[in-house]
Amino acid sequence: MILLGRREEREAVATRFAEGHRIVTLVGPTGVGKSHLAHALARVAVSLEDASTEDDVDRALEGALEQTLARGEAGPVLVDQVDDALDVIAPRLAHHASRVPLLVTGHERLGLRDEAVIVLSPLGVPPRTATPAEVLASDAVALLVATAQASGVDVAAIPAEQLAEIARRLDGLPLAIVLAAPRLRALGPSVMLDRLRAPHRVLDRGPRDAPPRHRSLERALRCAWELLSPSQQALLARLSGHVGAFSLAEVADAEMRDLEALCDRSMIQPSGEGFRILAPVQAFALEEGLARGWLASEALLARAGALFDRGRLRDALATLDAVPPSGPAAELRVAALRRLGRWDEARTLAERALAAASDDEASHRLRGALATLDLELGDLEAAREQLLVVRRSTADPKSRALADGMIGHADQELGELGAAAERYDAAREAFLRLGERRLAAAYAGYRASVAHERGDADAEARYRHAIDEVAPLAPPFAALFAASLGALLADRGDGEAAEQAFARADQELAGCTDAAIRRAVAIHRTSLVGALDGGGASDESRGVTSDDVRFAMRLRQARAQGLALALRCEDQRVILGDLTIDLTRRPTLWRLLEALIEARQRGTEASRDALIAAAWGDERILPKAAAHRLRVAIHELRRMGLRSVLKREGDGYALTCAII
């Protein structure tokens, strides 16, 4: 293993010995590099990995001590891997330290009077705000790059942000990093990141000349796991269900001793006012807990929900594999599959869960999920009608709020921006009352998108408020709204501010596997760079659609077309930019468009009654059926290419472009 950094730890070891301590113990989690650092500081080493009696300790140390004394060296002698039988080993180490100072490595301190303890932490990983230069300068990424280059990996071809995300996923753990680096040659960064959901299952091909525990992350973690008592294992597995840090409130009074033991053994790390578990340890402990049935479905569902909120959709699905596919678990799985663009799987699962639903509210939520699929795929009228049924029939406040929000998406895509704004406002207010801060913040951002599309003066302020509100709760939404803000600022000509907004979007997007959001951000970026794929949309995300993607496309289309519409009456064709729409065989749509153009030339909108009269003349139609026909016809015109210039205004519709 290449030794990078650790200057402070080296100096601390020298200082402790200079102060007169006879034993200095390096402690830290599995794979943090204790042995590697210690071997760099001591010439003579002995391992006590298999020692369990006083005689074992004495035999192992005598030769090393004699060798050191014969050389006339002051030491220290390295005593590596002191992890078990401390009650037996520690007193013998204290005895031998009177002759030669000892540098000891282990998961926990020896508990001796003349011992100085130095805690090794994982290598520093770059923050999400780091520039590419700062990413490469961080210790964890520097180790990843150096090891990868030594293994023949073309590191220059890997974006700095992907290198940073690999280091973050491994929590800066050196053993995990050096095992991951050579795999980049075959897997590449994207596949590697996807497989790091369970790093101990992937990182198992260490150097042939390394000690067995350093050839496989799983072996190293299992050695540490087996040193724990059953109650400590169970607590670690349960706490591994948390995403991010957790507090003492999550630990019962009867579990406090086990928590302290886990901290002492470096399996749990104190973090600010709470605690955290390193990602590789967490993945291993979670898998062990699942295998032993120690984790309740509720805990796994909460973990999957937290992963979903962070845009880690594949991780959420992997967690849901251990939960029965019904109820809230089925709904969350449908949402994750939908966001990944796996619509057929999502629809099949939603229909199956709907057929098995045992109560009305579960049925309403699943119908809402199916309607959302229709919305994602652009069947706006079907989605809207389905959602209105859910909205009327459910008694659950959250289900009503969700329905309002999704109806708002349909209204916005149909060009009914005023109605969309009202729905978004209603959804946000309901979520605030329910304490659903993440959803409330998300709908603040969608409300800003309506202001953006309408050209309202407060669109920028709305975006900034939504970004600040949603960032701590759901970073992918913050990325989406930051990119929307960037597009708004770019269209205003404020390139510097737009660059800042897109930089914020990149920071929030790190680690997100939501293909639809990544695609939407990439499309928004074209407002700045001017080419659809210049924004960095991954191959994986191309072809993905969603309401977010279509909103970005509407803005892009409007930007590209110049918003001037030409009418060729002789052959009933419409030209908008480089788009030609042939209405020769669509007389109803042609009459509808003529009425819209006449209203535009008068400087007014065309009322719904006027449009119905123009399109269907004296045909006798019930009012409700006529309104439905109009919505379908307007949707068809928008689908054919007029989406960016045909808007809902007042009691009717209006063209927003010039007429040539």
**pLDDT, tens digit (0-9, with 9 covering 90-100), for 195-230:** 888 888 889 888 888 877 788 999 999 999 999 999
Task: With a cut of 60, say whether residue 540 has pLDDT above it.
Answer: no
CATH class of residue range 562-659 = mainly alpha
C-alpha–C-alpha distance, residues 216 and 395, integer Å: 53
Each residue's pLDDT tens digit, 55-82: 888 888 887 787 777 776 666 889 888 8
Backbone angles phi, psi at 436, to 5 degrees: -90, 80
pTM score > 0.95 for this model?
Answer: no
Q: Assess contact for 509 and 518: CB atoms under 8 A.
A: yes
Confidence of residue 567 (pLDDT cuts 50, 70, 90): low
Facing residues of 44 across strands?
77
How far apart are the two ends of the chain, measured CA to CA in Å?
70
**What is the second-level CATH architecture of the domain 219-320?**
Orthogonal Bundle (1.10)
Task: With a cut of 60, say whether residue 418 has pLDDT above it.
Answer: yes
**What is the second-level CATH architecture of the domain 7-119?**
3-Layer(aba) Sandwich (3.40)
Q: Among 159-168, 319-328, 548-557, which stretch is predicted with the lowest mean pLDDT? A: 548-557
Phi/psi-derived region of residue 531, left when phi > 0, alpha when psi is between -120 and 50, beta in every other case: beta
More confident call, 244 vs 503: 503
Q: Among 78-82, 155-159, 371-375, which stretch is predicted with the lowest mean pLDDT? A: 371-375
C-alpha–C-alpha distance, residues 376 and 548, integer Å: 9
Eight-class DSSP state of 153: -
Considering only CA atoms, which of 85, 81, 102 is closest in space to residue 35?
81
Task: With a cut of 70, say whether residue 543 has pLDDT above it.
Answer: no
Facing residues of 582 across strands?
573
C-alpha–C-alpha distance, residues 273 and 51, integer Å: 38
Each residue's pLDDT tens digit, 326-364: 778 888 999 899 888 788 888 888 888 888 887 787 788
C-alpha–C-alpha distance, residues 413 and 546, integer Å: 11
pLDDT averaged over every residue in the chain:
85
Please report the pLDDT score of residue 530 as a whole number: 45
Cis preceding-peptide flag for 199 (omega within 30 of 0): no
Please report the pLDDT score of residue 532 as a whole number: 34
Concatenated DSSP letters of 2-21: -----HHHHHHHHHHHHTT-
C-alpha–C-alpha distance, residues 325 and 349, integer Å: 9
Please report the pLDDT score of residue 175 as a whole number: 95
